[in-house]
Amino acid sequence: MTDLHQAARRCLDASDPEEKLRLTHEAWRALQAGELGPDAQASPAEPFGTPGRPARPRLVEARGVPQRGLGTPEGRAALVHAIAHIEFNAINLAWDAVYRFRGFPGDYYRDWASCANDEARHFRMLQERLAELGHAYGDFDAHNGLWEMAAKTAHSDLARMALVPRVLEARGLDVTPGMIERLRGVGDQRTIAILEVILREEVAHVAAGTRWFRWCCERDGLEPRGTFVQLLRDYMGGHLRGPFNHPARLAAGFDAEEMDQLAALAR
C-alpha cells in the first residue's frame, strides 16, 4: 500500500485498540520513510459511519458519566480512563482528517498523521497507567462528544479545522493544568508526568488546526476571525466554556484579538 488515504482508512476501521495503535505507528513510519503519501488522483472518500472501536467502554450521554473524586485509586482511574477515551477518539479524528479531506498540500497530511501518531502514544501511556491502577480501557462509561462533532463537520474541511482542534481539543489546554494541580494535591506524580507530556504536545495539535483553518479561509476568501465566530454560532450556539489557558492558546496560534473574542463568548 502506498496511498496514505487508504492507510488512514485502515486505521479508522480497526476496532481493537492494539491493532489501531499498531497500524497508526506503522503508517507514520511509512510516511516518514517516503513509502506512503497522499494520492492526488485518489477518488473522493467513501462515506462511513463511525470508526472502529471496542465493545467497551459503554457510551452514554456526557451528563451520564459520573464525577468521581481523586482521593481514591478508583477516582484517579476514572479520570485517567476519561482522558484515555479522549485520546482514543483523537486518533480517529486525526486519521479522519487525512482520509476525508482531499486536495490539501502534503504538509496537511503530514501534520495530521503526526498528530495521530502522538495520540496513539498518549493512549498507550494512559493505558499503562490504568493498568497500574488496577483497571483497563473499557472499565468505565464514556461519552462520544468528540466524534459527534466530527460527524457534524464531515461535509466541511473549514468547519472541521475550526471546531475540532480549535474548540474541542483546545479545551484540553484549558482544563489540564487544573487537573494537574488536583492530582498534585493527592500526590499522584505518575499521572501528572503523563498529563504534562500530553499538554505540551497538544499545543502543536491545536496549532495544526489553526494553521489549516487559516489556510481554508485564505482558499475560500474568508476573514478568519469573523469566520471562526460565525462557525461557533452556527454549530455551538456561539458559546464557549471558560476560563482559557491564554499562554497555551497563544502558543497554539490564537492571537490576542481572538482571545478577546473568546472571552466575550465565554460562559
Angle formed by the axes of helices 73-100 and 189-220, nearest 10°:
20
Least confident of 2-11, 31-40, 43-52, 214-223: 43-52
First to last CA, the chain: 48
Q: Closest Cα partner for 4 from 40, 47, 49?
A: 40
Q: Report yes or no: 170 and 243 within 8 Å, Cβ to Cβ.
A: no
The pLDDT, as a whole number, for residue 64 is: 65
What does pTM read for this prediction? 0.95
Phi, psi of 11, rounded to the nearest 5 degrees: -65, -40
| Each residue's pLDDT tens digit, 48-92 | 888 999 999 988 877 767 777 888 889 999 999 999 999 999 999
The pLDDT, as a whole number, for residue 86 is: 94
The domains found in the chain, sorted by start residue, are: 4-34+66-265 (1.20.1260)
CA distance 242 to 211: 23
Please determine, for residue 227, whether its predicted confidence score (pLDDT) is greater than 80: yes
Q: What number is the average pLDDT over the span 164-184?
A: 95
